[in-house]
Structure 1
Amino acid sequence: MSAAAGAMPGIMPFPWEMVMHTGLCLLRLPPHAFWALTPFEFFIMTGGLKPAADRLPRAELDRLMDAYPDKGDEDGCGRE
């Protein structure tokens, strides 16, 4: 029984150290408030609902690279 031994292949353990550091040190929550949070509340407090940044689609990047090619020598440093 690998589950009883504590290691299951392909499953990452919960990052308690990181979560506790974020809640208790970075957010400076008192322990009673930290342990009373639901996982969703913690997710919200750590920016989980922040909108994702707009990303340039690959096709648009390719179009811009074709329209404005790098100039310079072969090492790509822009020196002529």
Structure 2
Amino acid sequence: MRGPHRPFSRPGGVAARAPFPWRAAMEAGLGALRLAPKDFWAMSPRELDAALAGAFGHRAGEPLSRAGLAALMQAYPDGDAHAGRT
């Protein structure tokens, strides 16, 4: 008989990867991208990731690069009109 059931662990105590975030994927695909269910379920996770990147740019949570920050600062400079405001 095997020992106590430990979800997401492998024999020997080695942790397995976290389960795929299906709820978030469905919210993104069906909600944000407005895919038909048949189209969503026909996509691979990589295809969904590419569709989201194409629609919304880089993924949330990726840090802004130094070059990206410099580009934003050049596009939207703080002028004298903002001096002294908090």
TM-score by length of 2: 0.47
Mapped partners of 1:30, 1:5: distance in 2: 36
Mapped partners of 1:33, 1:24: distance in 2: 9
- Alpha-carbon RMSD across the aligned residues, in angstroms, is 3.4
Name the counterpart of 1:22. 28
Name the counterpart of 1:40. 46
Query: Aligned AA for 1:39?
Result: P
Pick closer, same or farther for the CA change 1:25–1:54 going to 2, 3 Å: closer
Tell me how far 1:39 sits from its aligned partner: 2.4
Name the counterpart of 1:7. 8
Aligned residues with identical type, % of pairs: 31
Name the counterpart of 1:75. none
Please list every run of 5 or more consecutive structure 1 residues that lacks an aligned counterpart in the other structure: 58-80
Mapped partners of 2:63, 2:6: distance in 1: 41
Mapped partners of 2:8, 2:45: distance in 1: 23
Query: Aligned AA for 1:19?
Result: A
Name the counterpart of 1:64. none
Count of aligned pairs = 56
- Checking the alignment, whether the CA contact within 8 Å between 2:30 and 2:37 is kept in structure 1 is yes
Write out per-residue CA displacement over residues 20-74 of structure 1, whole angstroms, 9 at most, x where no aligned residue. 11001111111000001122221110107x57887228xxxxxxxxxxxxxxxxx
TM-score by length of 1: 0.50
Larger Rg: 1
